[in-house]
A = this chain, B = another copy of it.
Amino acid sequence: MTPAYEKLLLQLKALPGLGYRSAERIAMHLLVERRDGLTDLIESLEAAKAAVGRCANCGNIAESELCGVCQDERRDGSKVCVVEHVPDLIAIERSSAWKGRYHVLHGKLSPIHGVGPEQLNFTSLQRRIQTGGVSEFVLALSNDIEGQATCHYIQEELVGSHPIEVTRIGFGLPSGGGVTFADSVTLRSALESRRAYH
């Protein structure tokens, strides 16, 4: 059609979950039907880009050095739930089943996809282990080979001989599935039935 439209379409198609038709529908909505919506969207994207970064402690999204969870004095800082992605954290928060803090890895170990320890948020996890104050890590990682490998790495390479209990989120998480798409009841039962990781 027109160059600027085509370029926008390409950008929209690159977003997760959007195909050609859905990207076209959104582009048309913004360019033809709702021009004021376009302005609002640009402003929100700009504002989020400027404001939202990563929490220096846990890797969650944050609008200051520390995220809301790490700033919250009422949360139990000795218990840390380790998740792959921020939406996992959001899903667990939605279930109200966790009163501790979090650590977001931003992925899981996957040599086949070129994800090694350097690609994950392990540096600040190591710092949290060494500075002390953590008594338990609840590993809320995917129930698949890569999740397993990541659990193993955290216990063997990072926690090692530090006096920290390592548990793994328990029954209720469907096999092969991740944390993001589980419902609150499933997440609650999974958190309650956590068991020692060995």
Contact = CB atoms under 8 A, between A and B. Distances in A.
Contacts of A44: 4, 7-8, 10-11
Contacts of A149: none
A55 to B, nearest CB: 10
Contact of A61 (B1, B14, B25, B106): B1
Contacts of A42: 42, 45-46, 49
Chain A binding surface SS class: helix
A62 B31 CA distance: 10
Most B-side CB within 10 Å, residue of A29, A37, A48: A48
B15 A51 contact: no
A52 B68 contact: no
Given A25-B16, A37-B14, A51 B85 contact: no
A85 B7 CA distance: 20
A47 interface: yes
A47 B15 contact: no
A120 to B, nearest CB: 13
